[in-house]
Amino acid sequence: MAHEGLFFRGAIAGAALLVLAIDSQAQAPPQDHSCTLDLAFEYTSPFGKDGSNFNSGTGFQAGGGFEVSRPAEPDRGVSVYITANFMYDRLPATSNALMNAIKGDTALTGSSAHGSFDATTLDPTVRYLFNRRTSVYLVGGFGWLRRGVAFKGANPASLTMSNGLTLSRVATDSGVFDFGGGVNFGLTRNGGVMLYAEARVYRGLAVNSGTTLVPLSIGLRW
């Protein structure tokens, strides 16, 4: 009986220690992951010359990266990431731009056109963690932009180039720089998946200098 009593007291003590350990782990403030992944839906508005060529449209972005510096305190402070990002947007042509493209040909009044924009950028990112769940960040970098125009029965001349030049091809490549910021909000108290909202600006260079895109994104980040 003495041995049984000792066994039960030891079991109770062990269970109590396990509960305390789990509770301590649950209360420990999480840190940002050393690697990050994200995927988001975006609503994009064009500006510059393309602001008159295209209406607002939708697309998506996806990215990932790794941490190069973390805050000294686990639940507050600055962390730095190197991230890569890909975005794609499809924007319908405005009626005026389409009318200019078909050049008054009445046989093409039912035609349509849209612009497709995809960019791949390398972006240093600085996050500031306010507490266990909430952080804000700034992002900016440089990369590659492809601007394409697809037509249904229209003459592509006036829409092909954002700077107004006329070429026979309907896709152009150039450099692009981007910058923006957003906020992360953890969906659980112990870290893991975060909901994020972001605003970013893409500015095309060289042959795409008439392209400025402003996507507003909402998505999930790990």
Helices (H), the chain: 2-27, 50-53, 95-102, 157-160
Confirm whether 46 is domain-assigned: yes
Confirm whether 79 is domain-assigned: yes
Give the residue carrying structure tokens 């730095």: 80
Predicted confidence (pLDDT) per residue in 120-146, tens digit: 999 999 999 998 889 999 999 999 999
Give the pLDDT score at 161: 54
Residue 183's nearest CA partner among 212, 216, 214, 141 is 216
Confirm whether 21 is domain-assigned: no
Confirm whether 118 is domain-assigned: yes
Range of the domain at 190: 34-221
Give the pLDDT score at 22: 43
Confirm whether 119 is domain-assigned: yes
Q: Give SS3 for 8.
A: helix
Predicted confidence (pLDDT) per residue in 22-50, tens digit: 444 444 444 567 899 999 999 999 999 99
Number of domains present in the structure of the chain: 1
pLDDT band at 67 (very low <50, low <70, confident <90, very high): very high
Residue 54 DSSP label: B
Give ∠ CA 222-178-46 in degrees, rounded to 5: 105
Confirm whether 199 is domain-assigned: yes
pLDDT band at 156 (very low <50, low <70, confident <90, very high): low
Confirm whether 77 is domain-assigned: yes
> Would the pLDDT of 201 be above 90?
yes
Find out whether 53 and 94 touch, Cβ atoms under 8 Å.
Answer: yes
> Would the pLDDT of 166 be above 50?
no
Mean local confidence (pLDDT), 93-103: 80
Confirm whether 8 is domain-assigned: no
pLDDT band at 17 (very low <50, low <70, confident <90, very high): very low
pLDDT band at 108 (very low <50, low <70, confident <90, very high): very low
Give ∠ CA 114-145-206 in degrees, rounded to 5: 100
CA 17 to chain CA mean position, Å: 43
Give the domain CATH number at 40: 2.40.160.20
